[in-house]
Structure 1
Amino acid sequence: MRKLQRQEAILLSLKKFDYLTRWQIQQIHNLKSDRNAQRIMKEMEEYVHVLKEGENIYYLNAKGRETVSSEKVRKKTTTVEHYIMRNYLYIALGYPFEWKNEVEIISIKQKDKLRCRPDALIQKGSDYTVIEVDNMQKMNENQNKIDKYRQLILRGAFGLVSPKFVWITRTDYRKKELLKACEGLKVEVYLLSDFKGKGR
């Protein structure tokens, strides 16, 4: 019974996060040792597809989707790393219950509609944390998004308290550029290297 409950919990995590590395599953579900995590995921192979990218990356297959009523079909794609980077932030921020992926923020002022879709959003009461992944996009795309957030703040889209922004990026250079672009905002920037290699 406990084994089935654990398997269902892992499948629900894959439904929520789309793709998870073995290390990420191990952390989220407290699977203790690497060996134990590998054994558990081996037992679940009828429910998942596996990408081998240094470390195994898992996502739901048809049977897995059916088990947890997921209609979203995921495939092997070049954007997998984007999801994996976002998941590292979920773990780094302490597995927040309020975490929601890709929630659109909209402000309508007269006939002018302004919208922005963060990679994830955490709302605890009146406090917002905006999650952003800087993977392969151009820096001017990030700048444009940050400018939109500044406008949304001015319009009161986040209420009376300005949100905190948490980014993950690949290089020290890009980290410095993001910090500069976010000057005056509450911001924290992680490097992928802070996590990469864990469990590999």
Structure 2
Amino acid sequence: MNRAIEKEQRQESILLSLKKLDYLTRSQIQVLHGLRSARNAQRVMKELETYVSHFRDGENVYYLNSEGRERVNATKVRKKTIQAKHFIMRNSIYIGYGSPSTWRNEIRLGFKEEKKTRVVCDALFQQDKRYHIVEADHTQKMSKNRIKIEKYKRLIELGFFETKPCFIWITTTEFRRKQLTKLLDGLDHRIFTVNDFH
């Protein structure tokens, strides 16, 4: 294949990843797009600077700028924000689970008529005909996590899911992992910390 076409396709696929995942670190882009070395990934992203902006948070964190959004028809405006960590944590799960094709972000679950049980998960995907619900616990108060988990338990009781879902949480510390383990007791779950992905 012509080198120029290959380069164009790679750039397009990186921009589409940013459209889908909002923020990606240099190392996440490297893994997702098979850019062998950190140096190679830096070079590729430098060539994309017309379409992406970045800031440092341990390493470069990239997001689409207005030209990038226009090129891949993205509507969500992203800026430099401390909230980016939340998205990056969620994306670690996306990459860790092999970039599932059924992956969708920010999905509202629950029955329309039962407002009390409605909940928005950070991401959702299907594997082996079963839903996997992803939650990134970055700076969330544990009481908020408790409320969310109670809603999930209620949805299971009410038969919202055909098969009981698997809950995948990513958090920041071992202490928070222990707290979440207690809260998720009785549910099928996996809890990771950010260090599990470095």
Deviation at 1:71, TM superposition (A): 1.4
- 8 A Cα contact 1:49 1:60, kept in partner: yes
Task: Select the residue among 35, 44, 67 that pairs with 2:48.
Answer: 44
What is the alpha-carbon distance in structure 2 between the residues aligned to residue 78 and residue 147 of structure 1?
28
Which residue identity is paired with 1:72?
A: K
Give a deviation string over 1:74-105, Cα, whole Å, max 9, x none.
11112010001101111111111111001111
Aligned CA-pair RMSD: 1.2
Which residue identity is paired with 2:80?
A: K
Within-5 A mapping of 1:78-157: 78-108=82-112, 111-113=113-115, 114-124=117-127, 126-157=129-160
Deviation at 1:126, TM superposition (A): 3.8
Query: Which runs of 5 or more structure 2 residues have no equivalent in the other structure?
Result: none
Task: Select the residue among 68, 71, 76 that pairs with 1:64.
Answer: 68
What is the alpha-carbon distance in structure 2 between the residues aligned to residue 53 and residue 10 of structure 1?
20
What is the alpha-carbon distance in structure 1 between the residues aligned to residue 129 and residue 55 of structure 2?
39
What is the alpha-carbon distance in structure 2 between the residues aligned to residue 156 and residue 26 of structure 1?
41
Which structure's relative contact order is higher, taking Cα pairs within 8 Å and 6+ residues apart? Answer: 1
Task: Look up the match of 1:3.
Answer: 7
Task: Look up the match of 1:186.
Answer: 188
- 8 A Cα contact 1:107 1:155, kept in partner: no
Q: Alignment length, in residue pairs?
A: 193
Query: Which runs of 5 or more structure 1 residues have no equivalent in the other structure?
Result: none
Percentage of matched positions with identical amino acids = 51
Which residue identity is paired with 2:122?
A: D
TM (norm. structure 2) is 0.94
Give a deviation string over 1:28-48, Cα, whole Å, max 9, x none.
111111111111111111110
- 8 A Cα contact 2:52 2:62, kept in partner: yes
TM (norm. structure 1) is 0.93
- 8 A Cα contact 2:54 2:80, kept in partner: no
Deviation at 1:175, TM superposition (A): 0.3
* SS of structure 1 residue aligned to 2:107: coil
* SS of structure 1 residue aligned to 2:110: strand
Task: Select the residue among 13, 20, 25 that pairs with 1:16.
Answer: 20
What is the alpha-carbon distance in structure 2 between the residues aligned to residue 105 and residue 10 of structure 1?
29
Deviation at 1:155, TM superposition (A): 1.1
